[in-house]
Amino acid sequence: MAKILIVDDDKGIREILEIALFQEGYEVVSAPDGMKALAKCRSTHFDLIITDLKMPRMDGIEFMKALKEVSPESLIILMTAYASKESALQAMHEGAYDYLEKTFDIDHLKALVQDALKKRGVKKGDLEFLNEVRESASFMGMIGKSRSMQKAYETIRKVASTMTHVMILGESGTGKELVARAIHENSPQANKPFVAINCGGIPENLLESELFGYMKGSFTGAHADKPGLFEVAHKGTIFLDEIAELPPMLQVKLLRAVQQKSFRRIGGTEDIKIDARIISATNRNLPESVKNNTFREDLYYRLNVVTIKVPPLRERQEDIPLITNFLIQKYSKTFGKEIRNISPYAMALLMAYPFPGNVRELENIIERSIAMESSNIILPENLILTNDLSAIEHNFSQMDIPDDGLDLNHELEKLERILIEKALLKTGGSRKKTADLLGVTTDSLHYRMDKLDIN
């Protein structure tokens, strides 16, 4: 259910609103002033906040300004017994959804609340989407209800409370750094540093000094002592992305640091003690790299205490609509547009696409589509995907047959629907041209479209 926060120093008003909105099916929480309300907002997300204008310690306008830093997504309705055109305009300027005098009747308030939630894309009694997103995005924005993602979430929950080293495996664009941050943010060390470094993005001659630091005068340009990222991450987490790109010489130094929990800066003579969790990530096949002697076996086993596999998007197709709708809301707000949906044709194209760039590519596609879209729905022509059938062929070739079997006719109908919809799009909806393009008669096309309920 939608979560609503009531902020008012008048206990009687709070109780009236709590009862009225609770009876409408909302989850309602209250606070007596802006400071306590902000504290609640830091630990709980509220869809809508109804706040008084005149309150002690912090008035409604000040509260709204502070709330932007804490919960920018929450809608605000401002209410006051001191109505004035100036305060109303100021409230709207600061981003309030609407303005309400305390002489309101309850039915008017209920209608305003329902309208505000609909405006935000939330309907009372129809909040499955937001609830799914909240539940599945509980780790730093990761979204997914598929079995493979839920398995990853479970591993994150279990390992977060320890200082165990973790290795994250997954293709580029699957969100490996999000997993690393989720582990850190859900650990007892969450208030300590999280330091990320891309081992493949820094020249080899600079990487050692970035990781381990250096002493003044140890090389040309070393004008002062500099701590390395391992020192910065002390008591926290260091995330080594693209660990397979680490040069052999640095693999030796990293192994020593992991084994002895100490290292020396370049040019240094004293050991520096460190206590940090190491999370590494790679899109490579590290066991193969170990066999080829390009990655040390002893370092591999030191870092790979717990493994988390982030599945590619093509292996969790059921998450595509959920992620897509989340991104539509996100970028509609970014670009100030009222796009709230995607056409069935466009969604069918996304479901058939293999996403070699994974979630990162999907986000890029949706961002670009919303930027280019002039209507209130994402249409197929604004989806820039591959123009040939290789994506569809790849997607179906990667499909696994479950142990309990599958419905062949259903899978063939899915493919048939995708091809017909792509052909309709290419021909601008012309049935005759579509039939010619697909090598079938017009009657056959009509029959197939009726069977598949394609309008």
Superfamily name with CATH number, domain 147-309: P-loop containing nucleotide triphosphate hydrolases (3.40.50.300)
Beta strand ranges found along 156-249 (DSSP E): 166-169, 194-198, 213-214, 226-227, 237-241
Q: Which range, of 90-99, 233-242, 309-318, averages the lowest pLDDT? A: 90-99
195: nearest Cα among 236, 226, 246? 236
Strands 272-273 and 262-263, by their bridges, are antiparallel
Q: Name the amino acid, one letter, at 396.
A: F
Which residue is listed with tokens 């970035």?
A: 210
| Phi and psi, residue 313, nearest 5° | -65, -30
Residue 131's CB is within 10 A of a number of other CB atoms, namely 12
Average pLDDT, the chain: 82
Contact call for residues 75 and 41 (beta carbons, < 8 A):
no
User: What end-to-end distance do the CA atoms of the chain give, in Å?
Assistant: 34
What pLDDT, on a 0 to 100 scale, did the predictor assign at position 167? 96
Contact call for residues 358 and 176 (beta carbons, < 8 A):
no
In angstroms, how far is CA 265 from the centroid of its own chain? 37
Pairwise pLDDT comparison (367 vs 387), residue with the higher score: 367
Q: Which of 96-105, 212-221, 229-238 has the highest mean pLDDT?
A: 229-238
Percent of the chain whose predicted confidence (pLDDT) is above 70: 87
Confidence of residue 387 (pLDDT cuts 50, 70, 90): very low
User: What SS3 class is residue 145?
Assistant: coil
- Please give the DSSP secondary-structure letter assigned to residue 58: S
Cα gap 426→419, rounded to integer Å = 11
CA dihedral 438, 439, 444, 448 (to 10 degrees): -20
CATH architecture assigned to 3-125: 3-Layer(aba) Sandwich (3.40)
Q: How many helices (H) and strands (E) does the chain have?
A: 20, 16
- The CATH number that domain 315-451 falls under is 1.10.8.60
Residue 227 in this model has a pLDDT that exceeds 50: yes
Contact call for residues 377 and 408 (beta carbons, < 8 A):
no
202: nearest Cα among 221, 224, 234, 228? 228
Do 147-309 and 3-125 have the same topology in CATH? Answer: yes
User: What SS3 class is residue 342?
Assistant: strand
pLDDT digits (tens, 9 = 90+) for 441-451: 887 788 788 77
**Token reading at 198:** 């891309």
Residue 354's CB is within 10 A of a number of other CB atoms, namely 23
Percent of the chain whose predicted confidence (pLDDT) is above 90: 22
283: nearest Cα among 361, 169, 166? 169
Confidence of residue 93 (pLDDT cuts 50, 70, 90): low
**Token reading at 192:** 């300590």
Q: What residue segments make up the domains of the chain, in order of their start?
A: 3-125, 147-309, 315-451
The CA distances from residue 443 to 208, 223, 428, in Å, are 69, 81, 19
**Buried b vs exposed e over 67-105: b needs ≥16 C-beta within 10 Å?**
beeebeebbbbbbbeeeeeebbebbeebebbbbbeeeee
pLDDT digits (tens, 9 = 90+) for 346-367: 888 888 888 888 999 999 999 9
How much is the pTM?
A: 0.57
